[in-house]
Structure formats: structure tokens, C-alpha cells
Amino acid sequence: MQHDGKAQAGPIVGKLLGEKAELRSQAKELTALVNEVLAEVNALPVDEQKRIVTEKWPETQEKKEKIEEEKHLPPLPNAEKYKQIVTRFSPNPDCVLHLGSARAILLSHEYARIYSGKFILRFEDTDPKVKRPGLEFYPMIRNDLAWLGCKVDEEYIQSDRIPIYYEYAQKLIADGNAYICTCVPDEFRKKSLQSEPCPCRDLPTSEQLERWQLMLNGGYKEGEAVLRVKTDLNHPNPAVRDWPAMRVIDSKRYPHPRVGSKYNAWPLYNLAAGLDDHLLGITHIIRGKEHLTNGVRQEYMYKHLGWEYPQAIHYGRLKITGAFLSKSKIVAGVRSGEFTGWDDPRLATFAALRKRGITPEAIKKMIIDVGPKPADVTLSWENLYSYNRKIIDPQSNRYFFVADPVKLEVKGLPKTFNAKLPLHPEHPEKGYREYTVTPNKDCQSAQFWIARKDLANMESGKIVRLMELFNVKIEVVSEGLVEAVFQSESYEDIRKTKAQLIQWIPVGEEYPCSVILQDASVVEGYAESACKTLKPDAAIQFERFGFVRVDNVAEKLTVYYSHK
């Protein structure tokens, strides 16, 4: 019925074979048979087909019920191998967290919860020079995680664990699985590209251990020596061959913000992260695919130590249209004053999203929908807004806001009006706010503030309704003032005519308000005076303007625009 009465053989044969596997050996004959029947059926007019089907198989005409199901994460690989699932999120505290980290955080945490496992936060702050950690970021990161609803079961800081890395480095050297290389980088690279060992590789272990002591005691200057873990010099990927595990840092010049100048030798990522993943009992590593070759590198170290490598899941890069997610750009922009702070609405940091009234639930839902697949994704803000809208719409009270206010004078009022405006049209139990409009004694008029953009639809003679109040007929529209005359009170009157409904604020009931938009520009206007009792952090909707998050309630109201 769905295809204009013309059926095709392929899907029908497919369905039959799918249901009755025993027919598969006779597939050719079956196809011929189906084609025969189809020729007959397709020759019939559609109406006739419909009649027959309805008569013989009425149940097929019933509409399928839609089953909406919550999206779930796919199961973790080899989860059954482990007594307890342990995941980790391991940021370098050199910047605040942003949306780009959301996959690592939320997937790691969510899987830990699904499997009743453990979620570990591990600060990877082992580079005091190039990606120097900032002390302020440690608590900010903890705070972001808490805001996202990710409870940290255990926390580790790698700069506290340097002696542990030393211990294993020494073992690797003593076992002949690592060596101190004093070659200049370029020379090593040349050798390595040709799958040849550098001169240091085959030095006796005793000499390696001497070099190791020298490295620890400051006997080498920056760049003079590096610890390398032996891999396979014939590995197809040159980047895997004898990778660097520890280097010398001039600790006087580049003191670490937490441990100062205590260490000269600092572990590199693959050594520190690789060791910790095992030592902390991580079972599943969820990280970006830029770490794929790091996994290959680390597996060599695991083999040297007789360890088994955890399950690794590599997800693709996450971008969001229009926002840059580069830590260095964020840091530079904030330091230079280009941005107002870590929560500048132009940034996609969690701090900024929070400020803009994006809920952690919305972010979580979106990330879980995106899932852990390795393809890159470019999210659209609309999508995030949609998730957020579903969450905040039911809880957001409604208020009037007139942007760029213009005065409206209404004459000919027959009486005093009381307007009772519901805080939420779908939830009357939330209550109301009320305004009384009393006509001026001399000329039966009253004055209001209305939004300038509503003037666009106004012309002399047109009827508009002040929402929940009364209808007015426009007489004169000028730059600074709109003059109108009272028309009628009943909403029903103008309902059929589909007259424009506009928001209004009685003159005297205005409360100055700044709305900070996503591009950090500011819209000035008046909110209604009922907004004076709002609490910071509340999500509200300015009707026909958008959802906003209340930021500051003072002489003036300050809100951040969330979305439509």
C-alpha cells in the first residue's frame, strides 16, 4: 500500500528468507515465484489491493505504535574480564575545562556508574615548562566536574608521584628495557628512521644506571639526555620506535607550581600515564584518538613490566560550530583581556555554559547521544539548545521584558484594570504576578513601555493586544512615542483576527535590565518589576524574547541569554 501499489521483489524475498532460513537453498526458485505473484498483484488497482488486504488481514492495517526509548551507551569491551570497572579522566591543569573534554569526562564517569565501578580524576601536571600547570585550575576543574554531576571517587596528582615514576624507570633501565640517550634529537631521528640503534642504546646496563643517576642529580642540562623505552626499531611507525619517557628540565628556571624545583628529571606523558593506568587499576581508558599511537607505544612498556594493557577506547574530536576549543587560545584571550574571563559567553568553557544557563543535564544527554565512536563530530548549538530547552522550559517562570523600550500612551480607558499574569501558562499552580492599570484622571490615559521591535508591525488603525490586558487601536507611531486608543477588553474579540499580542510594562513598574547575549553584546531594556524578587541562577523566560539565566539582581537586573 505504501508504494503506490507497486511492490519490488528484493525486499520480499529478503523478508521471507529472513523469517524462514530453511528456504535459503532454494533462493532462485523462490525469487521466480515471488516475481510471478508480484506481477499479478501489481496489475491490480491500488483500491482493489486495499480492499483485499483490509478484508483478509485487517490486523496489518493497524498503526504501529511508536516506542520511544532512551539512548543507551554501548557496552564496554571485555567488561566481564574485570572485577570492578575503573575509568579515569586525566586533564592537564593548564586551562579550565571546555566542551572538548566533555566526551572524556562524561563517558568515563557514566561507564563507571553503569558498571558500579570507580571514576578517578588524575591531574597530569608533569610539564612545568611547555604546558605549565596553573594552580588556579586544579580547583576549577574539580568544580566543573562537580557541576557536571561527575562524582570523583579518587583523585591523584602526578606531580606528587614523581618518585614512583623514578622507581619504575630505574627498573626498566636495570632490566635493559630502557636507556639514557644523549644524542642530539636530530641525530636520533635519522637513525630511527633507518631502523638503526643510536650509539647509546647498546651501552652496558651499569653505564646506563650511572647516566640515570646523573640525570636525577642534575648532571645533565636541558636537552642533554633523555630516557628512552626500547621498542621495536623495525616498527612500521617510526613514531613508535624507542620513544622518550623522561627528560631534563631546568627546575630553577621552570619551577613547578606545586613542587617547585625539587626535580630535574620529569616524566613524559607515555611514562607517567602508562604507569599510572596500571598502578591505579584502570580497566578502561576512554580518550581521544590522538592517543592511538600512544597506546601502541605504551604496550611495549607494559610488555617489559609483564603487565596487561587496559581496554582503550578512542573517540573522535568534538567540535561545536563557531566556537574554538583550543586551550592556548582560551588562555591567551583571557590573559590579554580579549575575553571578560573564563566564563565569557563567547567561549565554550563549562564556566561559560554554566553562566549562560546551559544545564549539565543537557550537556550530558547530548554527549551520551553522541556516544564513544571514533568519528569526529561537529555539534550544532541548536542541538544543545534543544536538549536544554526540554529541561528548563517546564521550570522557567515567564516574565515580560521590553528590549530598547518605547513609550506607549493609551487614551480613553473606561476604568481601572487588573492584570493577572500566570508565571507559567502550563503550570497555573506556580502562581501569578499582578499589575493594576489606573487611568490618569485628566485624560483617561495610561503609559506603558513596549519593545521597539514591535513597532515594526504597527501602523495607524491597526489593533494590537497588550497581553492579558486589553486591545488598543494604534493612532500615531513615531520614534519616541506610540499613541493609541483603548479598543476593547475581551481577548476573544481579537482572537479571530489574529491580532498581534505584545508584552508591556506599565510606566513606573519598569526594572532596568541588561541581557548579555552569546556574542557578549548587551541588550538594554526593562524587565517588569516582579523580577526584583528573582534569585541569581534562576532560569526564566522573557516571553517572545528567549530563555535567560538570572545572574545578578541589584539596582539593575543582569541576565545571560540562553537561547530562544
Partner RNA sequence: GCUCCGGUAGUAUAGUCCGGUCAAGUAUUCCGGCCUUUCGAGCCGGUGACCCGGGUUCGAAUCCCGGCCGGAGCACCA
Q: Which of residues 75, 176, 374, 512 is near RNA by CB under 7 A?
A: 374
The residue among 400, 562, 411 whose CA lies nearest residue 476 is 411
Is residue 11 near RNA by the rule CB under 7 A? Answer: yes
Residues 280, 284, 287, 293, Cα dihedral to 10°: 90
Q: Which of residues 154-213 bind RNA (CB under 7 A)?
A: 183-185, 188-189
| Binding flag, residue 326, RNA (CB under 7 A) | no
Q: Which of 43, 55, 58, 74 binds RNA (CB under 7 A)?
A: 74
Among 316, 391, 404, 447, binds RNA (CB under 7 A): 316
Establish if 43 lies at the interface with RNA (CB under 7 A). Answer: no
Task: Provide the β-strand partners of residue 74.
Answer: none
Q: Which residue, 296 or 550, has its beta carbon nearer to RNA? A: 296
CA angle, 502 then 506 then 509, to 5°:
125
Alpha carbon 539 to chain centroid, angstroms: 19
Q: Which of 28, 56, 83, 496 binds RNA (CB under 7 A)?
A: 28
Closest CA to 334 of 128, 137, 99, 562: 137
The order of strands in the sheet holding 522-528 is 397-399, 539-542, 546-553, 557-563, 510-516, 522-528, 401-403
Q: Residues 52 to 71: which contact RNA by CB under 7 A?
A: 66, 68, 71
H or E element in which residue 222 lies: none
Amino acid letter at 358? I
How many residues bind to RNA according to rule CB under 7 A? 95
Count CB atoms within 10 A of the CB of residue 169. Answer: 23
Q: Is 282 in the site for RNA (CB under 7 A)?
A: no
**Which region, judged by CB under 7 A, interacts with RNA, from 207-215, 340-348, 354-362, 538-546?**
538-546
* Cβ(559)–Cβ(417) below 8 Å: no
CB atoms within 10 A of CB 340: 16
Q: How far is the CB of 491 from RNA (least distance, A)?
A: 3
Helix axes 360-370 and 381-392, enclosed angle (nearest 10) = 130
Does 487 bind RNA (CB under 7 A)? Our answer is no
Of 87 and 90, nearer to RNA (C-beta) is: 90
Contact window for RNA (CB under 7 A) among 5-13, 199-207, 303-311, 347-355 = 5-13
Min dist. Cβ of residue 294 to RNA (A): 5
Q: Check: CB of residue 321 under 8 Å from CB of residue 379.
A: yes
Determine which residue in the list 143, 261, 383, 445 makes contact with RNA, applying CB under 7 A.
383
Closer by beta carbon to RNA, 225 or else 301: 225
Work out how close the CB of 426 gets to RNA at its nearest, in angstroms, rounded to a whole number.
Answer: 5
Contact pattern for RNA over residues 240 through 269, marking x by CB under 7 A: ----x--xx-----------------xxxx
Judged by CB under 7 A, does residue 17 bind RNA? Answer: yes
Grid coordinates representing 497? Answer: 483576527
Q: Taking CB under 7 A as the rule, which mask of x and - marks residues 388-407 in contact with RNA?
A: -xx--x----x---------
Q: How far is the CB of 532 from RNA (least distance, A)?
A: 21
**Amino acid in the structure at residue 256:** H
Name the residue nearer to RNA (CB basis): 199 or 341.
199
The C-alpha atoms of residue 177 and residue 229 are separated, in whole angstroms, by 6
Bridge partners, 86 (sequence order): 118
Q: Collect all residues with Cβ–Cβ distance below 8 Å to 3 and sequence separation of at least 6.
A: none
Min dist. Cβ of residue 27 to RNA (A): 4
Instruction: Answer yes or no: are the C-beta atoms of 287 and 312 closer than 8 Å.
Output: yes
Contacts of 244 (CB under 8 A, 6+ apart): 181, 226, 227, 228, 268
* Minimum CB distance to RNA smaller for 293 or for 444: 293
Task: Indicate the residue among 327 and 355 with the shorter CB distance to RNA.
Answer: 327
Give the nearer residue to RNA in terms of CB position, either 275 or 344: 275
Provide, rounded to whole angstroms, the least separation between the CB of residue 398 and RNA.
6
Q: Which is nearer to RNA, 32 or 443 (CB)?
A: 32
- All three cell numbers of 534, joined, read 528573582
**Given candidates 213, 237, 416, 436, which one binds RNA under the rule CB under 7 A?**
237
Q: How would DSSP label each residue in 66-93? A: P------PPPPTTGGG-SS-EEEE---S
- CB of residue 554 to RNA, shortest distance in Å: 26
